[in-house]
């Protein structure tokens, strides 16, 4: 009986150990919208073709990561394989994480769906060693608005600054949501260079980078909302662990930051003193009406220009119209703009250019034109009026229709005869100027063209000889090839700005090839001590050598410490400058 019992127990154990299990395990089934969820898909045998669920109501912030464990218990081998995901909920509610599948020994296994309840945000315990908590306290995105109560059509600026604490770094960032600036005319100002600037944030030492600058002109009055800019930032948080070199290791944390909504209270322009012809110009302007000539013949064309220059909302109002006598032929004006936009707003000039063609003799007045604008300095309306301009047409047909009998006699009116020459000012004929004839044969040009081919023969022989020498210069060709590679890798490093690994690998290769070109050393000789000796023997000063060695150290430390985009840009600029300086000192 005992032997039978042992056999049955052994069979049950074998059957149990052969049973395949595949299940989904979650860290919690109820969480706040500001928390993270971990889900593990665990199997007790290795499988293939793992297919996760869609996670449609969650954002994957980490994973998938894969772990395999093996242990022996009472002489029996037990193994498991796990696929892990870290999820962030997108909204509140109850959601079901669907089935995942795996193929084990030709069979398809599925997990049981899991229901997760997402509640409102909850207060998290403040663990000073938690990387997520450290990142939340170390990275802040701030929108600085130049003025919160502007007038209608007055320029304001929004500067977005990313504040970073001294003990953390930022590897990359990407924009998750861009503000749309509803009810504003907007223009982004190009940020040419990212600079890390020491500063204070809430009384503590920080550094900040200006990510974006935007100029806004409100187009409505009342309370207007500036939507937030939202970024996904990869934060490098130092940990308590250290690498083999003794440096603190960092952990990469994904952090979402937003600048927050800003409300602008836009004041209407005052009604008191508003001129009748006011078209909405706000700023500080000069106004001018001019013509390119004051005397001309009939059928000649002249240009009349209405121009507004200065600082303000130049693109957001219309210029006053030019009123002219009906006897002048006027064409639709051509509008031109020379306007630039910086942090202080628009500045430059706009103009309407009229082409005017008189048909008859006479004096034609161009009446004065008025332009009104609201001056932000004095907070009053100003009106500028141009002088009257008189155009004298001295030659051409006379307009007989202007001669009328003061006594209303029965004289027959003479019909107006058009000369048909309204466009005589536009030249349609060509005057040919005869060129002095000369003989080409035996001229100076003749002899030059005859002798040039013969002179090119020794030059071609010389160039061919130089090419053969260059081809035979093995060492020189290696140096030139290394120089070319250095320029190539510096270019690759510039393209990789923002990607720490690729950037510093390319920068290290560029420095390597430059030394190979200038010092004729191979990879096996690439040590800092030997580099210092060789550069010193080439009369390179100590400061340049120290900067070059620092660059090499930065390339090595980049694998273990956090580096920001700004620091990468600084290292790239330093590399270009150091190579240029060393190159000049070696050639002396």
pLDDT in tens, 464-509: 877 777 766 655 555 565 566 566 667 777 777 767 777 777 888 7
Distance between CA atoms of residues 201 and 205, nearest Å: 7
Distance between CA atoms of residues 113 and 128, nearest Å: 35
Q: Does domain 20-119 have CATH number 2.60.40.740?
A: yes
- Which DSSP helix (H) or strand (E) runs through 522? none
Kindly give the parts of the chain with pLDDT less than 50: 10-17, 403-421, 523-524
In this prediction, residue 5 carries a pLDDT of 53
Distance between CA atoms of residues 141 and 15, nearest Å: 59
In this prediction, residue 140 carries a pLDDT of 92
Contact 393, 361 (CB under 8 A): yes
Q: What is the CATH number of domain 283-393?
A: 2.60.40.740
In this prediction, residue 489 carries a pLDDT of 61
In this prediction, residue 216 carries a pLDDT of 96
Return the domain boundaries, the chain. Answer: 20-119, 131-266, 283-393, 474-587
pLDDT digits (tens, 9 = 90+) for 162-203: 999 988 888 888 887 788 888 999 999 988 888 889 999 988
CATH assignment of 474-587, among 2.60.40.420, 3.40.640.10, 3.30.1360.30, 1.20.120.330: 1.20.120.330
Whether 20-119 and 283-393 share one fold: the answer is yes
Distance between CA atoms of residues 22 and 100, nearest Å: 9
Contact 100, 64 (CB under 8 A): no
Strands (E), 227-344: 230-242, 248-258, 262-266, 282-291, 295-296, 302-312, 328-330, 334-342
Chain centroid offset of residue 86 CA = 31
């Amino acid at each position: 009986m005992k032997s039978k019992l042992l056999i049955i127990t052994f069979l049950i154990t074998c059957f149990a150990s052969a049973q395949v299990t595949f299940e989904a395990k979650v860290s919690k089934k109820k969480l706040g919208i500001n928390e993270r969820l971990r889900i593990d898909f665990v199997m007790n045998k290795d499988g293939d073709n793992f297919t996760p669920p869609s996670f449609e109501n969650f954002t994957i912030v980490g994973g998938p990561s894969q772990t395999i464990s093996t242990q022996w218990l009472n002489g029996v081998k037990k193994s498991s394989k796990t696929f892990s995901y870290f999820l962030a909920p997108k909204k509140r509610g109850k959601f079901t994480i669907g089935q995942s599948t795996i193929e084990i020994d030709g069979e398809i296994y599925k997990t049981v769906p899991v229901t997760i309840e997402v509640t409102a945000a909850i207060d998290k315990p403040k663990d000073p060693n938690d990387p997520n908590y450290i990142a939340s306290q170390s990275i802040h995105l701030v929108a600085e608005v130049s003025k919160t109560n502007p007038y209608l059509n007055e320029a304001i600026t929004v500067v977005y600054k990313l504040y970073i604490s001294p003990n953390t770094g930022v590897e990359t960032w990407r924009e998750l949501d861009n503000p749309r600036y509803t009810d504003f005319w907007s223009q982004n100002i190009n940020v040419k260079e990212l600079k890390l600037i020491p500063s204070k944030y809430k009384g503590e030492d920080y550094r900040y980078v200006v990510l974006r600058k935007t100029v806004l002109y409100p187009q409505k009055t009342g309370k207007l909302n500036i939507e937030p800019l939202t970024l996904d930032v990869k934060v490098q948080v130092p940990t308590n662990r250290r690498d083999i070199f003794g440096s603190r290791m960092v952990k990469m944390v994904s952090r979402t930051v937003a600048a927050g909504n800003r409300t602008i209270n836009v004041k209407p322009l005052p009604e008191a003193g508003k001129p009748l012809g006011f078209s909405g110009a706000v700023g500080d302007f000069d106004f001018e009406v001019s013509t390119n000539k004051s005397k001309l013949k009939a059928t000649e064309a002249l240009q009349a220009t209405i121009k507004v220059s200065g600082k303000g909302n130049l693109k957001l109002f219309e210029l006053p119209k030019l009123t002219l006598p009906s006897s002048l032929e006027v064409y639709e004006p051509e509008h031109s703009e020379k306007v630039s936009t910086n942090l202080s707003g628009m500045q430059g000039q706009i103009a309407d250019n009229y082409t005017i063609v008189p048909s008859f003799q006479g004096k034609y007045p161009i009446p004065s034109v008025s332009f009104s604008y609201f001056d932000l300095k004095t907070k009053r309306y100003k009106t500028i009026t141009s002088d009257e301009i008189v155009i004298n047409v001295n030659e051409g047909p006379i307009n007989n229709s202007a001669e009328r009998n003061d006594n209303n006699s029965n004289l027959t009116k003479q019909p107006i005869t058009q000369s048909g020459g309204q466009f005589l000012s536009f030249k349609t004929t060509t005057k040919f100027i005869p060129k002095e004839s000369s003989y080409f044969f035996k001229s100076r040009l003749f002899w030059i063209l005859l002798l040039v081919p013969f002179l090119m023969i020794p030059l071609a022989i010389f160039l061919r000889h130089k090419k053969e020498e260059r081809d035979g210069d093995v060492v020189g060709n290696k140096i030139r090839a290394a120089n070319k590679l250095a320029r190539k890798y510096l270019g690759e490093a510039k393209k990789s700005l923002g990607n720490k690994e690729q950037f510093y690998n390319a920068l290290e290769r560029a420095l390597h090839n430059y030394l190979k070109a200038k010092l004729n050393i191979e990879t096996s000789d690439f040590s800092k001590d030997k580099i210092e000796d060789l550069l010193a023997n080439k009369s390179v000063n100590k400061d340049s050598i120290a900067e070059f060695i620092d660059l090499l150290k930065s390339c090595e430390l980049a694998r273990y410490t956090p580096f920001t985009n700004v620091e990468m840009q600084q290292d790239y600029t330093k590399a270009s400058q150091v190579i240029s300086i060393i190159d000049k000192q070696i050639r002396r």
